[in-house]
A and B are shown apart, each in its own frame.
Chain A
Amino acid sequence: MAERVPKAGDLLRWAAVGFHTAALLAALVVPAYAVLDAGGAFFGAGHSASLTGVLNVRRWLTLLENTGVVCGVAGLTAVVAGICLGLLAARTDMPGRRALVGAALLGACVPVYVSAVFFLSLAPTLLGFGSAALCGFLYGLVYAPLATLVLGATFRAAGRELEELALLDAGRAKVLLRVTLPQAAWGIVAVVMIVTLFVATDFTIADLLIVRTFSEECYTQYQLDHGRIGPLLTSVPVMLVLAVLLVVVERRYRLLGEDSPWEAGAKPSTLALRRWRIPAGVAAGALVAAGAGTLLVPLVLRLRPLAGLGTAVANLRHELWTTTALAALGATFVVLPAGGLAWAMARGTRLRWLVAAAIILLLAIPAPTVGISLTALLNRPGLLGAAYDSPVVVAIGYFVRFLPIGVLLLIPAVRRTPCELEWAARVDGCDWLGVHRHVRWPALRRDAVLAWLVVVILCFGEVGATMLVVPPGWETTAIRAFTLMHFGVYRDLAVLALLSIGCILLPWGGLVWLLARRRTCES
């Protein structure tokens, strides 16, 4: 164990506490500012005349209905696809299960704007303007791969004993319906929550189809000369609804606590497909190949004529570099404090409730609200203004949006670490620094890399906040694609979408390697 260094250790301890608190407060300033500013406007007499349109209850009900339909259809689509594919990948002896999981992981990594370009190139004439159900269905397809992964993990964590007992009295199908699926209810709820949060705070596809969700309305109101108060007030109901949903789901299913169901127990039994084994494998492979082909081929066809393709690629070099750099920077901003905050959250320190409140608020805040608040907070003389003028403002936006994701991704790693390890280290004479060096960091580092890669991927596709704060000359690929896709899918956009997938392959490869390594270590 490390030598005791009391003074340096104490200093570092306070520095670390200060750093984590500052990071948390910095992220919290944005939703807090949004809520306070909107609240001030609500009670302030000066704004009341201009806010009558914004405070229209019918309008809020319409937005709530549209957002509900979009999130509901998206959740339903993702859950249905996730249950089918997740069951096949996690609980059957179907050949090619690993390939299916790899494909789902790749699908989950594809940014929303790239998926939107796929849909546009596939069926530009089918897209119906104003259809909330279609918008939800498209979002559902975007998040179906993620649902497959989450529900696959859920099915793997299902209790083996209960199923085996049930199999004594009933057939496979009945056990699946009556035992396995109810056991996976928390996973289904988790998928619905994840999809709801991502969809309700994003407007990429909603704006394309002119569907008035809260997030789209917040963006539109800001662009419509309503200052920042109107859009901020617009976003308050959805923030409240999402925050209440998060609290209810967490209280009901305890997804984050010590008794969280995420950890797999004994390996669950495998459903033997028998004579359907090969056909099921072929069908799943064909489904994935057909899906990928149907989406990719129209896009590849739009690359013609091939002359000048090199120039088109070269023209996008700056955006690709900018996006990669800013995504890496944003993910680093997120992961640096996320480990400590995850520890505070999972181990019940005094910061726990502050961290929990911050996570809920940050998850619930629509992306345009982050952009609007950042503009109001940072566009001032001095150091803040320097940050606003530089591309760092985009990374700050990523930090605010994805800090909760980073923390949530690291909580399982904290929970996997037995408290006894820390006690043993202290008994052996380790001070605060020693415990961190010998227990906490080794416990978190692998998951920290994983969380970093996931957040890089999320940053890569961020549109809502970036759109409002991106400084001149620092356009990201997501913003370039978002502005281009309203003109239809032409060669530039096809090149951009395909290059974006190329860029995603690197973090995807990292994730595959890390997950495969973890699986090997666990077995």
Chain B
Amino acid sequence: MRVVAAIMGVVMLVSLLGGCNRKPPDEVIVYTALDRQFSEPILERFAKQTGIQVRTVYDSESTKTIGLVNRIRAEAQRPRCDVFWNNEPVNTIRLKDERLIQRCEPAEAANYPAADRDPEGCWFGFAARARVLLVNTDMVKPDDCPTSVRDLADPRWQGRTGMAKPLFGSTATHVACLFAVLGESEARALLDGFRLNGVQIVGGNKTCAEMVGRGQLAFGLTDTDDAIEEVDAGHPVKVVFPDAGDRQMGTLLLPNTLALVKGCPHPEAGTQLINYLLSAAVEQELAAGPSAQIPLQGAATQSSRVAKLADLRPMPVDFAHAAQIFPTAAKYVEEKFLAP
């Protein structure tokens, strides 16, 4: 018995010693909604270059973005996060509207178009993803290939299409943007069409892309970073940038956004990290990497494998308006997609 107790004690002690690190003199705390596999190498490189230790909270796919945003809200009285690296702009703007993020001045921000950053210097956009339709080419003939998100409501595809839970992540943002661009009644009608047409609601955009790749869905609404992985894996899929025609609403482009949390414990290190992430090198890395993000600044010479910014017809959406209308859109989704 004493041997067991001794082993227990040693295991605990060694574990504690091995697991605990002393608090480093300089650190920065990041909450990031960008998938860990894409963000972690970049943050590690920053830590290596600057000697500033980066402590990160990564997001969960099932409550993407919103979970982290609400965590920042819950900690508002005593913030623990320095930098919020969001993978979309709408919820960052909502945090700004709630005065939960603060102004900062990273030098690299000047290299980005004015439309991709906050005029008051509270958030900065970079490296975008697009909301696309991933089509299984074995299941969909070239002539029948969908070209618009409205095709999700087309009875031809009843029960054979999918999208992520529209309560979280870029899908929730997409819904808010549809509300902002189409107006509330048209957006509601469109989404009601999705629901009535049996669009399958799945766990996340990655799952949606995988289901298309495996042939479980004919096509699905997802993000370019998830879609491109299915292309790279050699599955019979094709990426369609929806609504790119002249009279259509355009493809939704969602830049990553960076913001310094108000009252954060390490504002200087936080600003330094934001500046690093806004550099052309990071944009190029994100473009060349597996997530194939689309660079927004002119200095980034690398084009994304999925598309060049110049070739796209972006949806003309006012993200600030989408942020204002987000609660209405979320309430609609909760009532319609979560209703008993």
Contact = CB atoms under 8 A, between A and B. Distances in A.
Contacts of B61: 483, 486-487
Interface in B201-220: 201-204, 206-207, 210, 214, 216
A298 to B, nearest CB: 15
A269 interface: no
A228 B74 contact: yes
Interface string B11-25: 110011011100000
A522 interface: no
Nearest to A468: B71
A61 B11 CA distance: 46
Contacts of A53: 331, 334-335
B90 to A, nearest CB: 13
B45 to A, nearest CB: 15
B12 A328 contact: yes
A371 B339 CA distance: 25
Contacts of A379: 74-75, 77-78, 80
B158 interface: no
Interface string B299-340: 000000000000000000000000000010011001100111
Interface in A424-458: 445-446, 449, 452
A473 interface: yes
Interface residues of A, number: 61
Contact of B203 (A58, A391, A486, A514): A486
B340 A59 contact: yes
A482 B60 contact: yes
B66 interface: yes
Interface string B38-74: 0000000000000000011111111100110111011
Interface string A319-359: 00110111011001000000000000000000000000000
Interface string A447-479: 001001000000000000001101111010000
A225 B70 contact: yes
A207 B81 CA distance: 26
Interface in B73-119: 73-75, 77-78, 80-81
Given A225-B70, A472-B56, A208 B11 contact: no
A486 B204 CA distance: 7
> Which of the four size classes fits the interface of chain B?
35 or more
Contacts of B56: 472-473
Contact of B74 (A125, A375, A380, A389): A375
Contacts of B160: none
Interface in A483-497: 483-484, 486-488, 492
Contacts of B63: 219-220, 223
B221 interface: no
A488 B19 CA distance: 28
Contacts, number: 141
B204 A332 contact: no
Contacts of A61: 340
A53 B13 CA distance: 48
Interface in A196-242: 207-210, 212, 219-220, 222-225, 228
A506 B8 CA distance: 11
Contacts of B168: 223
Interface string A505-523: 0100010011000000000
Given A53-B334, A379-B75, A472 B29 contact: yes
B55 to A, nearest CB: 3
A385 interface: yes
Nearest to B226: A487
**Which of A379, A488, A513 has its CB near the most chain B CB atoms (within 10 A)?**
A488
B214 A125 contact: yes
A321 B19 contact: yes
Contacts of A510: 4, 7
29 contacts: A53-B334, A58-B340, A129-B200, A129-B202, A129-B203, A208-B62, A220-B63, A222-B70, A223-B67, A224-B70, A224-B167, A318-B19, A322-B19, A324-B15, A324-B18, A328-B12, A329-B12, A379-B75, A379-B80, A391-B19, A446-B1, A449-B1, A449-B5, A471-B55, A471-B80, A472-B31, A483-B61, A487-B206, A488-B207
